[in-house]
Amino acid sequence: MSEKCTADEIITTFFLNTCLLNQRLSEPDVRAVLHIGSLMTCHPSDDEEADAVPLITGSVAEFYIKPMLPHVGDVDVMWHFSTDLAIPRGHSPPTQLPAEFHNYVTVVEIIDSHFPGYVYLKLRYLLTECPEDGKYNAVAYDRQKYLANRLDYKGNEFEYHGPARIFAEPMLHLLPCHMPVEISHNPLDDVHCVRCLVWLPQAADWPKRYRNYGWPDSVTVDRIVNKGCDVVGVAHRQCRQHKWTAKNQWRLSFSRAEIVLMNNMLPIQQIVYHMLRVFIKTERLLDTANNSEKCTLSNYHIKTLLLWACELKSRSWWTDDLSLVRICVELLHTLAVWLIDGRCPHYFISNCM
């Protein structure tokens, strides 16, 4: 028993001493910034005035620690056009918009599908800005048209993985030669989204639910709700064989909320997140025998596991008698229960598994 305790202490001490705060510009940071620059020239085929408004997401934005081993896989950039906006079904069109939006904006209404978390975007209004007062006037569309989840890039074909397209590598060789950047070959995920400036009714229970241990606190919850959400272009796996649905179904995205929450975690919680991600990758738990997406574990499941644990476990559970091995084992047991039950409870949408 003493040997086991000693091993736990060694592992815990090692990670606490080597997972430092990330105070140095990393190669994934640079890659993300360079790709943001390339997005500035991205326009849909039918609108040269539509600008891309980017957001760095995923590991690059979520981790504020820097372990010894690489902990960033794909470099993720999510972006929306300045001429597109989504609103919940039944909501009135906005009369004011942030400066990132164009002087004319197409507004789509979010329509639920029969799968929780998956929706359709129905063309609803055209907003035009009045130069005198800066307010937007809305004209309703008569025609019944849905927004497709794949963009037309003037005949270019891209490989997609879920909502992300595999984008060409940014020009790292254009960097100043003195910039300390280690070059890697991590994929770059480019995710087109449609911005929604309000918190979605599909996740209305999340801000209001009772939290035994006060995580996240009310200030953080308000900050997240005020950021709104996004919708990304991908159909539910059971709908991808249906031609119309595969082309027109979208998924609700809470990436903006996840970035805020991950950066509000304790360092020990970020270390556990890193350890579990590395574990499922090195143990090849991300692979499946039949290559079926239904059976695949992903970083999304580990992130969801950590978000629930941060909310449902007390601070003392994480910090008293600190053992990273114990914490990881207990969380993996929870994950095993989810796998046995065939469910992964969505952190934001209560009826979505």
* Tally: H helices and E strands in the chain: 11, 13
**Residue-level pLDDT at 160:** 61
Residue at 299 is within a domain: no
**Under the phi-then-psi rule, with left for phi > 0, alpha for psi from -120 to 50, and beta for the rest, what region is 140?**
beta
Residue at 136 is within a domain: yes
Residue at 347 is within a domain: no
Residues of the chain with pLDDT under 70: 1-5, 22-48, 69-74, 151-187, 284-296
Residue at 127 is within a domain: yes
Residue at 67 is within a domain: yes
Domain that holds residue 71: 22-264
Residue at 17 is within a domain: no
Mean confidence (pLDDT) of the chain: 82
Number of structural domains (the chain) is: 1
Which residues, in sequence order, are CB contacts of 295 under 8 Å at separation 6+?
A: 288
**Residue-level pLDDT at 150:** 78
